[in-house]
Structure 1
Amino acid sequence: AAFSAALSQTPSISSISSEGREDLQGNRLETQIWITPDVQKTDVDFSEILNAIQEIAKDVNIFFDELEGVNSPSKDDDSLLHHGNLTSTSDDASRLEVVGEEVPDKNKTNGLYFRDGKCRIDYILVYRKSNPQTEKREVFERNIRAEGIQMEKESSLTNSDIIFVKLHAPWEVLGKYAELMNVRMPFRRKIYYLHRRYKFMNRIEKQISRFRGWLPRKPMKLDKETLPDLEENDCYTAPFSQQRIHHFIIHNKDTFFNNATRSRIVHHILQRVKYEEGKNKIGLNRLLSNGSYEAAFPLHEGSYRSKNSIRTHGAENHRHLLYECWASWGVWYKYQPLDLVRRYFGEKIGLYFAWLGWYTGMLFPAAFIGLFVFLYGVTTLNHCQVSKEVCQATDIIMCPICDKYCPFMRLSDSCVYAKVTHLFDNGATVFFAVFMAVWATVFLEFWKRRRAVIAYDWDLIDWEEEEEEIRPQFEAKYSKKERMNPISGKPEPYQAFADKCSRLIVSASGIFFMICVVIAAVFGIVIYRVVTVSTFAAFKWALIRNNSQVATTGTAVCINFCIIMLLNVLYEKVALFLTNLEQPRTESEWENSFTLKMFLFQFVNLNSSTFYIAFFLGRFTGHPGAYLRLINRWRLEECHPSGCLIDLCMQMGIIMVLKQTWNNFMELGYPLIQNWWTRRKLRQEYGTQRKTSFPQWEKDYNLQPMNAYGLFDEYLEMILQFGFTTIFVAAFPLAPLLALLNNIIEIRLDAYKFVTQWRRPLASRAKDIGIWYGILEGIGILSVITNAFVIAVTSDFIPRLVYAYKYGPCAGQGEAGQKCMVGYVNASLSVFLVSDFENRSEPASNGSEFSGSPLKYCRYRDYRDPPHSPVPYGYTLQFWHVLAARLAFIIVFEHLVFCIKHLISYLIPDLPKDLRDRMRREKYLIQEMMYEAELERLQKERKERKKNGKSYHNEWP
């Protein structure tokens, strides 16, 4: 059979290379030496091929290390890990002999195989005998057997009521469904070499590497001797076809499909099996939801710990290897083994960790610049004219910040807060805001390139949405209405447009209502702040009384955090209900819809108070004698005499630290406690010796199941952190540093959780991070706007700039140094006549403790005329100059940054040039393969006709 029919179904053939990322860094081209996998069926002389390889090596003077493993046998999940040296394997015969003779005896006791030690367990179902859904399970299991799945049952060693159903898919079933699911498998090996035109550049690189020889030798890279070479990494792949099975590289049918692929195929079958009569009585998910089965999961590949060292004896299995090289805290500084993560957990989880690692790496420059801005504020603190004037202003008396109980205070009492404000609000803040806006764009653009390389390496280039299955719930709901699929030409369930619109309208109404709930919660926090500041001002403890505003902000942030966490539980249930109400067609549509709702809910929930503090706190309070009040009762809260930025910094710092700490505890601490408690009960009931004798399915069942929403919580946590890192970064330059430190821990926490604390999740495919990328782009755009407003409105950068150029000692000279800020504090404060206070806001103290006599005047932050002017307390000309400068800055800043962002997006291509060349090369190779496959077919026909004495066309070879 020719390859042309198979290849015609795929426009391109993707390849995967463990060194692909390094290949794409240099200008390397590839060539492909034709090696037919089945030697007995071809006339290829391998000695000639090896001679050709040697000639190529001599010609170009460079040969990749991968050449040493080109002719190595196929590597399966277990054979790579048996004999200590993970990169060296014996020949096919010896390896198959080991698999055929030694492994079954071991398999009978390791809990990964059936009782015969030959059939590997691909999936586990768990139920209780006492459960009344017996008939449904029997029908379901009978239909499973009808599909060809083999089955065994075992009682639990700890609870006789629990039954484990072991499922194994034989070769025939795997081949059938692999073809239906378009599973891509390796069929041709490849060899890389450098083109001669890059020989000169390679010599230059070699000289540079010698010059850097005194540096550590790539300390962050994992040892290649530790990681196994994966079969797919050196092969072209194509959709599996039983009719053309001889074209694929198959050394052992039992291990041709890796464990993750086998489990995915079995899960696909279970999702399509009926358990009762009726179109909507199908699928494992429904049986799990109605309690017929308690759990369903694929098995881990054994223990993640070993008595022997991995360096001397090698890894016992891929789980052990992942623990030692990825989930261990000792390798926190090393790169992640993404190819192995992808093989064990699937492309979807692999892409998450690839994105998380890329995001963490990109945080290094942002954290460094943010730390530089903070240190710049520290070094210039003693030279800051504004903080000096605040600290020396012992004769300036400020008006009370609340009604009755708040006393008059000296401006110098705000000295500490003025210095802290300068640490975050200094001359480098604007530069950092522009840098972070550009950084966000560069991060997203280079992630596109990185994702393209990963998609190429992991064989995801041709994986499109049309290959995705329809959700069983959608099929059951709309099975009576069908229409022809324009792509496949097959009938499929159809949702009417009117039905879809009505469901979307109801869902949008629910989203709007929940956002209103968030706003109501923020309104409650505002009332709390207004009421509490007066209470703290009258507190008996001097420490709280003298710092009433800071105490109010701190407690309000903590209460706000508690409300955020409580509302998150409610939002999750509402988002789940609304998403199911919409009836999305596919799993990706369901995930996108649920993700968008949860992000909107949690983003508004997390940032609403921050937006209030940044843009509304102290902006609409009125002035002494004419305060604006909430419901004509509560006086709105004012900013601290040193400004509102300190409140915003406290809000961001406390929320960021508390939320990340809580998330890390819930992700790892809670499962650790639950698993420890389970092990403790087992030790008390069965003794310490019984633990080691538990089979793998029993151990995995006692682990925690993965979150029902998959990676949603992991992504959401990082996306919200990204928002905190970019949206208000002008007010808190240390946010990228905190995010970086958290992410370094987060990667290993998540890895440890996936490897040791959770059941093995089902391996699933994904081409990218989905809707999260669009959300990241939206956050990047929003961050430009918010940072422009933070600099212009929240900070004092614009008022100081206007004073320096227009009203200060250097007015008209074009200078804006510290000497030009002399008198700024006095110019930014207005004068109020104490006798003009309203009765309900008149302070209890008359201020006689400052000068021995009642105060006549006090000061407040604003640009207003004095009380004896023609228009008392009217806005001054300086106020309008500052307002115009703020508006002009916002417009100029936004347009400038957006132009820079679009320019960067235009200049950085989505696909690296080398990757584009590789893809073109593969298209050329496809044509060559098609021609050679057709030639092979015609030659066989010619031999057959010649043997049978039949005539054939003389022009054919």
Structure 2
Amino acid sequence: METTRRVGSGVEEVKISHMGPEGSGGFEPLVVLEFTASANQAAIEWLLAKLQAPKTEGGADLLVRTLFLQHNKETMLLIGASNERLLLAAELQEVKRRHRDGFFHEFTIQDIQEFVGSDDLESFFTQAEKQKLMMKEIENIRAAELDVHIPGYEDVRLYPGKSIIKKYLSREIVVQMFPLHDEEAIKRLGNEWYQPKNFFKLQPIHKIKQYFGEKIGLYFAFLGVYTVSLIPPALIGIIYFVTSWRSVYREALFAIFNLVWSTIFLEGWKRYCSELTYMWGTIDTATAKFEEPRANYHGHLGKNAVTGKPEPVYPKWKRSARFYCVTVPVISVCLWVAFIIMLFYFWMQHWADDVYAGNKGWINLMLVYVPTAIYAVLIGILNGIYRKVAKLLNDFENHRLDSSYENHLVMKLILFDFVNCFICLFYVAFYLQDRVMLNSFLSTMLVTQQVVGQIREAMVPFLFLRRRSKQLDDALERRKVVDQQTDSEDVDPAAKKQIVVESAMDVYDGTMDDYLELFLQFGYVYLFSSAFPLAALWAFLNNITEIRSDAFKMCRVFQRPFAESASSTGAWQVAFEIIGVISVITNCALIGMDPEVQKLLPSDVTAINVVLIFVAVEHCVLAIKAAVAYFIPDTPRWVQIEMARMEYESKQALQKEKMAAANRKKALLQKAFVKPASKSTML
């Protein structure tokens, strides 16, 4: 590695010869902080000092080098860490590593030799684990009492206990913070994951987890299991479509099968999820009372009542007041807007139907489907707006824990999108009671949203990637001339290109939107399965492409996200189960309102008795679902045994430690009470 200095700046300018470690103890940049071109130099130097300062002085104690690009006056901090610093961070963050006894234990430097892989400290952590450790350390640099504002920005005030890097990001002094890709590793993963030759092969879930972390690994595992689970209902739907067998008995049997099958799928997923998280060492993550606060969590600096560690404190009553006085009214307004837009859609549809009834031509026939297509696109736009509103409300509530923040955000998004996407279907099914219109509307909504989604998620990113790559190549060619005139001649073009290219990539926003898309699709498939049996087929075909397009985007389009731990799919598991319960009610109600079913009932049966009959049927189906869920254990037997063994071994180790401590204490006591031998005795 060779360095030069910019005249008069006092900031080191580093030219990197390659992106890996330079021999023993060499600098390996893992995380990049990119400042805006207009960033004040004092703010850059202050953050640089914080990153390099020892932990005892409130810093992160990381290795930092500065890269200055003369052509656009951009400054980037390239951040790395020594092996010793990474080991300390792993211990402070209570990271679990595989022990030589085969189980996962919290890592401690004192017992490092007892952990698998400790013989080679360079490869003890994967690159994703190193970047995750560093990200936590950077985010945990918090403002002290004397840190009033960011140097050079007197209007950007700092509050004790609040994350400094988050303030830099929110005020766009730092435009982004991202981990660097491992170009060789991502190329190998992409070849195995999204290449056409592997289109119908299983996903390399463990390799995905190793590169992107447990949270993203679990999402793609869930997507794969869910896609496979769509095959049985899709095959039955095809048989129904080909044979054109129209019967209320067929609808009832198909609906019951779907409702029970959805339970089998969700229970099977929980079993597979527990297997994966056990093998990854995240199945028994720490409880909320020991969880570290979010980096964006703010309040006056205090102490955690349980751990005694300093952390921001924010009164619970303030959070509740914000929720009931701000969040609830805003959500209510958004739901009311969704209802008004739905009514407007029906007015448009009624007008289009009247036009077609007056003149049944091809143009007017196409006009009949225009309102539904527009409404489907509009729903996607509204969902995007609602997501931004939900995030703003969630930030405003100031949740302490990442898990609590995510669960509240998930519930807001689910409520928004459920009403926005399904209120129209409920209106058609139970108010208008038009089965033909329900079938047409459901099929149009599902197919339109999936086609638009595939264009937005697969074709558009690919075209943007090609255009961006050409633009970057042209820009890099122009920069060569500028850099040769202003920078030293020993800059490695490949290293600089990697940083510049990745800084221009799209940012991956997390699994939230991906899960939400699957949640809505799950609702379309199961909520009204008796009305549109081909929904599972369309969902299956969409997901086959979705898996590979998402893989392509993760490997080629997006910046590398920071790895995140996960022990399950969290609130999404509950959300899918709720849809399963609602599906029982909607399908029983649809079948109950069918004219053929009404003919089967005695003529003297009152409306109240009809309702009671179908409530009883609905409760029977719910009982079947509950029985299926009860008799399928959430955790496989072998995982239960291994976890019991781990608990037993931990207790045995603790018992041995207590025995050893007792023996040491006994020896000290015996030594203290033994009288020294007399002189005569010695003679």
Normalised TM-score (structure 1):
0.61
Inter-partner Cα distance in structure 1 for 2:23 and 2:498? 13
Contact 1:373 1:429 in 2 (8 A): no
Instruction: Tell me what 1:498 maps to.
Output: 317
Larger radius of gyration: 1
In the alignment, does 2:31 pair up with 1:123? yes
For 1:703-747, what per-residue CA distance to the aligned partner results, in whole angstroms no more than 9, with x for missing partners? 21112xx11110000011011111011100111111111111111
Inter-partner Cα distance in structure 2 for 1:718 and 1:745? 13
Shift of 1:800: 5.1
Contact 2:97 2:281 in 1 (8 A): no
Contact 2:290 2:307 in 1 (8 A): no
Shift of 1:340: 1.2
In the alignment, does 2:86 pair up with 1:284? no
Shift of 1:245: 2.4
Task: State the secondary structure of the residue aligned to 2:61.
Answer: coil
Task: State the secondary structure of the residue aligned to 2:255.
Answer: helix
Q: Compared with structure 1, are the counterparts of its residues 903 and 685 closer, same or farther at alpha carbon in structure 2 (3 Å cutoff)?
A: closer
Contact 1:181 1:467 in 2 (8 A): no
Contact 2:128 2:211 in 1 (8 A): yes
Contact 2:62 2:81 in 1 (8 A): yes
For 1:348-399, what per-residue CA distance to the aligned partner results, in whole angstroms no more than 9, with x for missing partners? 111111111111122222222222333342xx4xxxxxxxxxxxxxxxxxxx
Shift of 1:470: 0.9
Inter-partner Cα distance in structure 2 for 1:110 and 1:921? 46
Among 577, 582, 597, which residue is 1:798 paired with? 597
Q: Compared with structure 1, are the counterparts of its residues 929 and 132 closer, same or farther at alpha carbon in structure 2 (3 Å cutoff)?
A: closer
Inter-partner Cα distance in structure 2 for 1:800 and 1:553? 32
Inter-partner Cα distance in structure 1 for 2:442 and 2:22? 55
In the alignment, does 2:279 pair up with 1:457? yes
Q: Compared with structure 1, are the counterparts of its residues 282 and 543 closer, same or farther at alpha carbon in structure 2 (3 Å cutoff)?
A: closer
Shift of 1:562: 2.8
Contact 2:51 2:61 in 1 (8 A): yes
Give the letter aligned to residue 675 of structure 1: L
Inter-partner Cα distance in structure 2 for 1:110 and 1:654? 53
Instruction: Tell me what 1:534 maps to.
Output: 354
Shift of 1:606: 0.9
Q: Compared with structure 1, are the counterparts of its residues 591 and 662 closer, same or farther at alpha carbon in structure 2 (3 Å cutoff)?
A: same
Instruction: Tell me what 1:70 maps to.
Output: none
Inter-partner Cα distance in structure 2 for 1:894 and 1:340? 43
Q: Compared with structure 1, are the counterparts of its residues 259 and 936 closer, same or farther at alpha carbon in structure 2 (3 Å cutoff)?
A: farther
Instruction: Tell me what 1:142 maps to.
Output: 49
Give the letter aligned to residue 123 of structure 2: T
In the alignment, does 2:182 pair up with 1:301? yes
Among 372, 379, 383, which residue is 1:557 paired with? 372
Contact 1:127 1:163 in 2 (8 A): yes
Instruction: Tell me what 2:130 maps to.
Output: 262
Q: Compared with structure 1, are the counterparts of its residues 553 and 432 closer, same or farther at alpha carbon in structure 2 (3 Å cutoff)?
A: farther
Q: Compared with structure 1, are the counterparts of its residues 938 and 335 closer, same or farther at alpha carbon in structure 2 (3 Å cutoff)?
A: farther
Inter-partner Cα distance in structure 1 for 2:478 and 2:240? 56
Task: State the secondary structure of the residue aligned to 1:473.
Answer: coil
Shift of 1:520: 0.6
Normalised TM-score (structure 2):
0.84
In the alignment, does 2:559 pair up with 1:755? no
Inter-partner Cα distance in structure 2 for 1:893 and 1:459? 43
Instruction: Tell me what 1:165 maps to.
Output: 77
Inter-partner Cα distance in structure 2 for 1:593 and 1:362? 28
Shift of 1:116: 9.4
**Aligned pairs (5 A) from 1:814-829:** none
Task: State the secondary structure of the residue aligned to 1:469.
Answer: coil
Shift of 1:251: 1.9
Instruction: Tell me what 2:266 maps to.
Output: 444
**Aligned pairs (5 A) from 1:273-672:** 273-274=141-142, 276-277=147-148, 278-279=159-160, 282-302=163-183, 317-377=184-244, 380=245, 422=246, 426-464=248-286, 465-475=288-298, 478-479=299-300, 482=302, 484-485=304-305, 487-490=306-309, 492-505=311-324, 506-539=326-359, 542-543=361-362, 553-617=368-432, 644-672=434-462
In the alignment, does 2:32 pair up with 1:111? no
Inter-partner Cα distance in structure 1 for 2:323 and 2:239? 48
Contact 1:792 1:889 in 2 (8 A): no
Q: Compared with structure 1, are the counterparts of its residues 319 and 117 closer, same or farther at alpha carbon in structure 2 (3 Å cutoff)?
A: farther
Contact 2:192 2:204 in 1 (8 A): yes
For 1:482-533, what per-residue CA distance to the aligned partner results, in whole angstroms no more than 9, with x for missing partners? 4652x32445443334322211112111111111111111111122233333
Contact 1:798 1:885 in 2 (8 A): no
Inter-partner Cα distance in structure 2 for 1:760 and 1:484? 33
Shift of 1:145: 0.5
Inter-partner Cα distance in structure 2 for 1:437 and 1:494? 45
Contact 2:161 2:312 in 1 (8 A): no
Inter-partner Cα distance in structure 1 for 2:469 and 2:253? 54
Q: Compared with structure 1, are the counterparts of its residues 931 and 272 closer, same or farther at alpha carbon in structure 2 (3 Å cutoff)?
A: closer
Q: Compared with structure 1, are the counterparts of its residues 940 and 468 closer, same or farther at alpha carbon in structure 2 (3 Å cutoff)?
A: closer
602-611 vs 887-896, greater mean Cα deviation: 887-896
Shift of 1:934: 8.4
Instruction: Tell me what 1:133 maps to.
Output: 40
For 1:571-595, what per-residue CA distance to the aligned partner results, in whole angstroms no more than 9, with x for missing partners? 1222122112211111221111122
Contact 2:461 2:557 in 1 (8 A): yes
Q: Compared with structure 1, are the counterparts of its residues 291 and 115 closer, same or farther at alpha carbon in structure 2 (3 Å cutoff)?
A: farther
Shift of 1:461: 2.6
Unaligned runs of 5+ in 1: 1-106, 190-234, 303-316, 381-421, 620-643, 807-877, 942-950, 952-957
Instruction: Tell me what 1:684 maps to.
Output: 474
Give the letter aligned to residue 576 of structure 2: L
Q: Compared with structure 1, are the counterparts of its residues 666 and 150 closer, same or farther at alpha carbon in structure 2 (3 Å cutoff)?
A: same
Task: State the secondary structure of the residue aligned to 2:100.
Answer: strand
Among 893, 898, 901, which residue is 2:617 paired with? 893
Task: State the secondary structure of the residue aligned to 2:103.
Answer: strand
Contact 2:356 2:368 in 1 (8 A): no
Q: Compared with structure 1, are the counterparts of its residues 167 and 893 closer, same or farther at alpha carbon in structure 2 (3 Å cutoff)?
A: same
Shift of 1:441: 1.4
Contact 1:112 1:299 in 2 (8 A): no
For 1:433-487, what per-residue CA distance to the aligned partner results, in whole angstroms no more than 9, with x for missing partners? 0111111211222222222212211101331234432123323xx215x4652x3
Inter-partner Cα distance in structure 2 for 1:649 and 1:371? 16
For 1:642-684, what per-residue CA distance to the aligned partner results, in whole angstroms no more than 9, with x for missing partners? xx32221221111111111222232233332332222222333
Instruction: Tell me what 1:701 maps to.
Output: 503
Unaligned runs of 5+ in 2: 1-14, 54-59, 149-158, 481-492, 666-673, 675-683
For 1:574-619, what per-residue CA distance to the aligned partner results, in whole angstroms no more than 9, with x for missing partners? 21221122111112211111221111111111112111221222x5
Shift of 1:881: 5.5
Contact 2:61 2:85 in 1 (8 A): yes
Inter-partner Cα distance in structure 1 for 2:314 and 2:16? 50
Inter-partner Cα distance in structure 2 for 1:882 and 1:668? 54
Give the letter aligned to residue 442 of structure 1: I
Shift of 1:883: 5.3
Give the letter aligned to residue 528 of structure 1: M
Inter-partner Cα distance in structure 2 for 1:764 and 1:254? 21
Inter-partner Cα distance in structure 2 for 1:437 and 1:711? 26
For 1:104-133, what per-residue CA distance to the aligned partner results, in whole angstroms no more than 9, with x for missing partners? xxx9754344699932222111124x3133
Give the letter aligned to residue 300 of structure 2: S
Inter-partner Cα distance in structure 2 for 1:613 and 1:723? 16
Inter-partner Cα distance in structure 1 for 2:460 and 2:361? 40
Q: Compared with structure 1, are the counterparts of its residues 509 and 686 closer, same or farther at alpha carbon in structure 2 (3 Å cutoff)?
A: closer
Inter-partner Cα distance in structure 2 for 1:734 and 1:721? 13
For 1:767-796, what per-residue CA distance to the aligned partner results, in whole angstroms no more than 9, with x for missing partners? 111111111111011000111122222x44
